Amino acid sequence: MKRGDLVTIALPVDFGKPRPALIIQADLFEDTGTVTVLLVSEALLDAPLLWPTVRPTPESGLGNRHR
């Protein structure tokens, strides 16, 4: 896994299904045994500087617009 990859993760808390996440950890730390991710949500909030929009594309693998 590399920084910028979109992955699907299952968390120990109940979200009801696996969730998409963006790997934000620097590749320099890939051998640490942990990975820092940013969860991706379909919840659209009016805060464009804090919640950038990721549009559905073949590269993102998303079916809907996410933030």
Alpha helices in the chain (DSSP H): none
What's the chain's average pLDDT? Answer: 81
**Sequence spans of domains, the chain:** 6-39
pTM of the model: 0.57
Would you state the pLDDT for residue 7?
Answer: 92
Model confidence over 36-50: pLDDT tens digits?
Answer: 898 887 776 676 666
CA dist., res. 45 & res. 42, Å (int): 9
